[in-house]
């Protein structure tokens, strides 16, 4: 599914808080005067000053990436993603587990092959969407990230984690090899370390994850939000179309051979110079002043 098609299907208006799923309507029995309380939303969303916070909100189930959670995550990423007021997305979670990965109750034979296909197709769509959207996506991790939860961290552009956080792909231990998490993890970690994680299920510490490139920064728990927001705020200071062009090009050239990557990047550098904000940045540097970004993908020359 293309991003444009996904947007047309799933885009909705941006609000300060948005439920990650709609609660079913509950009719109260005639003998009661009060209706039953609505269930907690799977995802909470906040957006302020260009920063969107997407918070996994199912700690009782270890923030498992159930089909409903994945669909909610997809919707909350896509909503208003092309708006000029959105500059960066932060994904975090409530509770001691960032995400335990797929909900194994959804993966029994009783669900059937078609349902299983939908789960993994949706998961792959969300992971690629994170890299395809025009704004950077930051994982803010405080706790355990396993299997598809680890895949989610690996798929983000930047990841900040607390010292107590751990990362693992333990599927092999329950008879389900982490093949889809391996796509993202194998591109973030050295091959032999990735294989050790996949073949043994042994977790790695936050410091080892940093050492080998799975995450960007390790911070004390009390500084996690401060450090993550500082990165997000720094991104917000740059031109939105320049950041979008740079992010897309980085991911594209990483999948290419050296010569093709240089050809791609060279063309994009020329395209970047044609942007109004590209020329504004150069003029501001030469004139020793701060740039005034338009945040619009307009060109000043061909």
Query: Average pLDDT by consecutive 10-residue portion of the chain (302 residues)?
Result: 49 41 41 64 97 98 98 97 96 98 97 98 98 98 98 98 98 98 97 98 98 98 98 98 98 97 98 97 98 95 84
What pTM, to 2 d.p., does this model score? 0.87
Q: What is the pLDDT of residue 12?
A: 42
pLDDT of amino acid 166: 98
Q: SS3 for 275? A: strand
Looking at residue 38, its pLDDT comes to 77
| Gap between the Cα atoms of 191 and 210, Å rounded | 15
Which pLDDT value is given to residue 86?
A: 97
Note the pLDDT of residue 39. 83
Cα–Cα dist 132/251, whole Å: 8
At residue 301, the pLDDT reads: 87
What pLDDT, on a 0 to 100 scale, did the predictor assign at position 36?
66
Instruction: Find all residues with CB under 8 Å of 127, minimum gap 6, and list them.
Output: 151, 152, 155, 180, 183, 184
């Amino acid at each position: 599914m293309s991003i444009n098609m996904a947007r047309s299907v799933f885009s909705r208006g941006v609000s300060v808080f948005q439920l990650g799923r709609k609660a079913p309507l509950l009719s109260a029995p005639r003998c009661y005067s009060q209706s039953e309380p609505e269930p907690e939303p799977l995802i909470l969303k906040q957006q302020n000053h260009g920063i969107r916070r997407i918070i996994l909100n199912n700690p009782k189930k270890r923030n498992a990436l159930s089909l409903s959670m994945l669909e909610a995550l997809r919707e909350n990423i896509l909503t208003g993603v092309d708006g000029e007021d959105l500059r960066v997305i932060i994904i975090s979670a409530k509770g001691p587990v960032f995400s335990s990965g797929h909900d194994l109750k959804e993966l029994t034979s009783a669900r059937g092959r078609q349902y299983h296909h939908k789960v993994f197709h949706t998961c792959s769509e969300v992971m690629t969407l994170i890299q395809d959207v025009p704004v950077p996506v930051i994982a803010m991790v405080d706790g355990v990230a396993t299997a598809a939860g680890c895949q989610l961290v690996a798929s983000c552009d930047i990841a900040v984690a607390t010292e107590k956080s751990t990362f693992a792909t333990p599927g092999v231990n329950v008879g389900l090899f982490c093949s889809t998490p391996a796509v993202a993890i194998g591109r973030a970690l050295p091959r032999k370390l990735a294989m050790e994680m996949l073949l043994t299920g042994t977790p790695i510490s936050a410091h080892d994850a940093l050492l080998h490139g799975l995450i960007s920064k390790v911070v004390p728990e009390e500084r996690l939000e401060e450090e993550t927001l500082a990165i997000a705020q720094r991104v917000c200071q740059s031109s939105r179309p320049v950041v979008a062009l740079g992010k897309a090009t980085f991911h594209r050239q990483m999948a290419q051979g050296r010569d093709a990557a240089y050809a791609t990047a060279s063309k994009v550098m020329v395209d970047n110079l044609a942007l109004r904000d590209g020329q504004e940045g150069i003029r501001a540097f030469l004139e020793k002043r701060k740039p005034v970004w338009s945040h619009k993908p307009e060109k000043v020359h061909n």
